[in-house]
Amino acid sequence: MKGRVIVLAVVVAALALPMAGWAQGTDGVPAIMPVGQVKAGMRGIGRTVIRGQKIEEFNIEVLGILDAGVGAVPGKHLILFRVSGPLMDRTGGTAAGMSGSPVYVNGKLIGALSAGWLSQLDDKLLHKRDLALATPIEEMLRVLDIKNNNNESAWPRVFTADRPITIGGRLLTRVVVAQDYAQARRIDAAGLAQTTAFVPATFPVSVSGLSPRALRIVQQVLGIPQPLLQSVSGVTQFEAEPIAGGSSVGVMQVRGDINFGGICTVTLRTANKLLICGHPWEALGEVEYALTTSDIITVVRTLERPFKEGNLGQLIGKIDQDRGPAIRGVIGQMPRMFAVRLAVTDLDSGKSVHRGFQVVRRKDLAKLFATAVTLAALEQVRDQVGGGGTVMVRTTLRGKGLPRTVPRRNTVYNSRDASLAALLELPEALNFLFYNDIVTVDASDINIEVNFTGKRMTAMITDVQVERREVSPGQTLRVRLLMRPFQEEAVTSQVIDVPIPR
């Protein structure tokens, strides 16, 4: 009985301890100002983090309201505004990673910074980047309570100003939100009358644990327009502050010995739910990404666009909605992810490399990162890129819906690039989990074991012998293979049993 009392006292004491900083929050949506009440000339503030976790303020002035509706049909809106103040002087204007920064007028939340202006009209505006778009808060609030099976219409790209707006001596009546910098440049180069392009404020995407060649493959396959930031440290440990509107958070799709994710800003927090970014991550609807704390190192000023550089920290929840006006985070609910464990050995040197990571349970990303990480590990263990040799690949697949674990084994020889040739086995193995056309599989994990040697371990089959010429359905046929290994005179044999289908 005394032991139970002690245990109970420990539990009560633990419950009485304050929550981690990031877990502390307040209930309720803050006072908001609907877009219908927002007028040109209104002034207010925005909030964001540009160093550490300290939320700082910048000044804003509303320039106009943009409407995607046609005629009498009500459409979605954006707020065009100008930023200023000491914070923006330090950053060189809006920066990637500021998306989601809340914007207030008269103490009321009107929306979140979601896009920046690419065009520079004269020398005075060069690299100033003081124009931005905000997603109205009422559009974002729909994401806060959206149901998982809801389908939202695509977010519009072309908006018309409620009145002509003069910027740098140029009259603007139409704004196009481009998909990337290249598209924005093409739109501006077209010289459309009273039209300019903005680019989503995006998010600085960082990756750690990949070789240069593996990194190039990831960038090419994903089609990420901006350069990937290669981080050395990956996930770091730091004491997280309470998360609120203006805080910086991390969104990760790969986590572990390899990390892949980016930084966005929280627009608002109500209880354990967050509205983040003010634009989609990938606009995939219902998702499961990792939500982490974030600590900003600095804002890097570049010729094309400044960006926040920071560290991704502790896993604190998940992103469960990826929609046009915002992404939704849920603190305290952890994502289900697909586990990958990898062991690569160079049989010639005896050197080994081990990797373990989790990737979002999505077939394209699971295949991409399992392949890229294996390539990076092979290049590390061999200390070279390319080169011939023999690679033996073993995989063990697990998933709910399979009667047992599924082993696969294959051996590949290539005279020019054995590492790259061996990678073709992994997408085939993962197709069994994610593209199974026989049963529905809830993919769980994969173990990958790769052994490499620079030797050519191939053989030519010189003869095939069978124990009998006729077999019946359901029987087993014993076959003897006679083989001559590469550059050897001796002939070896191997017996295999071939089951005959019924």
Q: Does residue 6 form part of some domain? A: no
Same domain, 256 and 150: no
Which residues does residue 196 pair with via DSSP β-bridges, in sequence order? Answer: 175
Give the Cα separation of 166 and 169 in Å (integer): 6
Q: Which tokens hold the place of 245?
A: 């509107």
pLDDT, tens digit, 9 for 90 and up, residues 210-223:
999 999 999 889 87
Same domain, 50 and 121: yes
- In this structure, of 77-86, 136-145, 171-180, 334-343, the range with the lowest mean pLDDT score is 171-180
For residue 155, the model assigns a pLDDT of 66
Report whether 35 contacts 110 (CB < 8 A): yes
Same domain, 277 and 374: no
Which among 409, 399, 275, 285 has a CA at the least distance from the CA of 330?
275
Same domain, 291 and 403: no
- In this structure, of 214-228, 284-298, 311-325, 471-485, the range with the lowest mean pLDDT score is 214-228
Same domain, 175 and 32: yes
Q: Does residue 492 form part of some domain? A: yes
> Can you give the pTM of this predicted structure?
0.82
Strand order in the sheet with 459-466: 459-466, 476-485, 492-499
pLDDT at 202 over 80: no
For residue 3, the model assigns a pLDDT of 45
Same domain, 285 and 310: yes
Same domain, 48 and 131: yes
For residue 84, the model assigns a pLDDT of 94
Residue 123 is part of a domain; what is its CATH number? 2.40.10.10
**CB neighbour class for 4 (10 Å; exposed up to 12, middle 13-18, buried from 19):** exposed
For residue 301, the model assigns a pLDDT of 82
pLDDT, tens digit, 9 for 90 and up, residues 32-59:
999 999 999 999 999 999 999 999 999 9
367 Cβ partners below 8 Å, 6+ apart?
Answer: 426, 427, 430, 431, 434
Residue 369 is part of a domain; what is its CATH number? 3.30.1490
Helix (H) or strand (E) holding 265: strand 259-270
Better-predicted residue by pLDDT, 303 or 136: 136
Residues 254-280, mean pLDDT to the nearest whole number: 94
pLDDT at 331 over 80: yes
Buried b (16+ CB within 10 A) or exposed e, 96-114: bbbbbbbbbbeeebbbbbb
* 474 phi, psi to nearest 5 deg: 95, -15
Same domain, 55 and 181: yes
Q: Does residue 369 form part of some domain? A: yes
For residue 2, the model assigns a pLDDT of 42
pLDDT at 235 over 50: yes
- In this structure, of 142-151, 356-365, 381-390, the range with the lowest mean pLDDT score is 142-151
List helix spans (H) across 274-417: 363-382
Give the position of tokens 């998360």: 243
Give the percent of the chain with pLDDT over 90.
52
Cα Rg, the chain, nearest whole Å: 28
Q: Does residue 4 form part of some domain? A: no
Range of the domain at 299: 205-335
Q: Last residue of a domain, which of 431, 453, 475?
A: 453
Q: How does the average pLDDT of the chain come out, rounded? A: 85
Same domain, 149 and 233: no
Same domain, 315 and 347: no
pLDDT at 107 over 90: yes
pLDDT at 163 over 60: yes
Q: Does residue 2 form part of some domain? A: no
Our count of domains for the chain comes to 4
For residue 306, the model assigns a pLDDT of 82
Q: Does residue 166 form part of some domain? A: yes
pLDDT, tens digit, 9 for 90 and up, residues 385-435:
989 999 999 999 999 999 899 999 999 999 999 999 989 889 989 998 998
pLDDT, tens digit, 9 for 90 and up, residues 55-96:
999 999 999 998 875 443 345 889 999 999 999 999 988 888
Same domain, 178 and 236: no
- pLDDT-derived band at 436, boundaries 50, 70, 90: confident
Q: Last residue of a domain, which of 312, 335, 358?
A: 335
Give the position of tokens 């939704």: 328
For residue 71, the model assigns a pLDDT of 41
For residue 20, the model assigns a pLDDT of 52
Same domain, 47 and 181: yes
Better-predicted residue by pLDDT, 160 or 312: 312
Q: Does residue 270 form part of some domain? A: yes
SS3 state at 457: coil
